Amino acid sequence: MTQNNGHPQPAQPAQAAGQASDRADSQAGSQAANNQAANNQAGNRAQAPNGPKSSPLYGILTALGILIFAFLPMILSTLVGRSTPYWLDVVNTVGLYTILALSLNVILGHAGMFHMGHAAFFAIGAYSTAILNLTYGWSIMATMPVATLAAGFVALILAWPIIHLRGDYLLIVTIGIVEIVRIALTNNIFGLTGGSNGLVGIARPSLFGFRITSPKHFFYFIWTVVGLTILLFHWLENSRFGRARKFIKEDTVAAENMGVNTSRYKLMAFVVGAAWAGLAGTIFASRMRTISPETFVFSESVLLFTIVILGGKGSQKGVLLGSFLVIGLPEFFRGFEDKRLLVFGAALVVMMIFRPQGLLPSKQAHYKLPPGWADRLAQLPKPETNGPNGKRPPNGGAPPVAKPQNAPPEENGA
């Protein structure tokens, strides 16, 4: 992706500030609700039993992060003055890649499916928007659901036959898919895609009558979507759906034998990830106003793959960090632009040797027990775990753990 936005107009402070606070509020609002669940301690058990880590530190950091993002354009203009639009652009690109990487994370990180074809779904989303907008005059925001669905639908068709493939084979097939999509786009399939020159003159999105044009506008737009993505996927991960994928990743055979429809969940993970990439494609198309097959090459998939792996697959924080490192960092070392891939390649190798779980690996899921259990557990005699391998000392050395209760437990309906 290129950095040039082509829009040098200065931001209008007053209006933008008004918008900023609106967006910050909505963003802060959703984050605050999340924090409340997070900081839930002994009191409000009516909350969902699963929640993010409930340490106060986490809440403070999140609040701080929100504040920084709410006022980032102002902060930047004091730091870099005239080149604020440029740096906002960089941050926007990071944001867009974050959305993409988070969607890939659903497939690669959570479900553990090797996937190098993500750029293809991004492309489908972008092209759907472009075609609908240019040929049929749809407004950008109206195209967003279509682009999302289109990408998801194509993913469904493509993934169905290949979902059973083993890791490295799946990888190769996904590479093949992204190449086929690119070739189809270049060859002007159905006469709609404008061939290798792509499509030009895509409109800007407008939300409730407000046209999103400048980097500052896009900043709030994109990063709100980032926040939304993080929230939704976080909820998804800590649910029946997310657990199913964890089981599949740990031991697919065991999961199947525990009643998890493994094919269906793998497929769903794939489709959800792909659909979200399509959504990102809409944003991209309306931001760049021009798209061509060159943008959606295999190396883009590689970049996304790198972000997820480096950051720590499965972990949203890791992906965010990875995105900043992979996309943002090279901006600070402008001279090394062309050596970027060199560093990434080496980084991947080094990471795998020394820290394969990524920079910020995902932690164990955190569960809260329903009320009453704390007391029940306290009454049981302390059980013993014997070291990492768990072999009992020979012949009755350890006292037995609590005998099974004599009355069968209540059969709580599910």
State which of positions 221-250 bind other proteins (CB under 8 A). Answer: 232, 235-236, 239-244, 246-247, 250
Q: Residue 387 has what DSSP assignment? A: T
Q: Is 43 in the site for other proteins (CB under 8 A)?
A: no
Region from 56-64, 94-102, 132-140, 305-313 binding other proteins, contact rule CB under 8 A:
305-313
Residues of this chain, 51-110, that bind other proteins according to CB under 8 A: none
β-pairing, 290-291 vs 206-207, is unpaired
With CB under 8 A as the rule, give the number of residues binding other proteins: 105
CA max distance for the chain: 80
Query: Interacting stretch for other proteins, rule CB under 8 A, among 18-26, 68-76, 173-181, 206-214?
Result: 173-181
Q: In terms of DSSP H, where are the helices of 106-251?
A: 118-136, 140-162, 167-186, 215-237, 240-250
Candidates 67, 68, 80, 402; binder of other proteins (CB under 8 A) is: 402
**Least distance to other proteins from the beta carbon of 341, Å?**
4
Report the interhelical angle of 215-237 vs 72-80 (nearest 10°).
Answer: 130
Residue of 190, 86, 201, 196 whose CA lies nearest to 133: 201
The 8-class DSSP code of residue 46 comes to T
Query: Which tokens hold the place of 396?
Result: 């009755």
**Cα angle value 234/235/239 (rounded, 5°):** 120
Distance of alpha carbon 310 from alpha carbon 351, whole angstroms: 7
In the region spanning residues 187 to 206, those forming contacts with other proteins, defined by CB under 8 A, are 187
- Name the residue nearer to other proteins (CB basis): 71 or 241: 241
Is 201 or 259 the residue whose CB approaches other proteins more closely? 259
Range in contact with other proteins (rule: CB under 8 A) among 83-91, 146-154, 174-182, 279-287? 174-182
Subset of 337-376 contacting other proteins (CB under 8 A): 338-342, 344-353, 356, 364-365, 367, 369-370, 373, 376
Distance (Å, rounded) from C-alpha 396 to C-alpha 28? 57
The window from 126-134, 208-216, 217-225, 255-263 that contacts other proteins (CB under 8 A) reads 255-263
Binding residue for other proteins (CB under 8 A) from 136, 259, 332, 375?
259
Cα first-last separation, the chain:
48
Question: Could you tell me the smallest distance in angstroms from the CB atom of residue 371 to other proteins?
Answer: 10
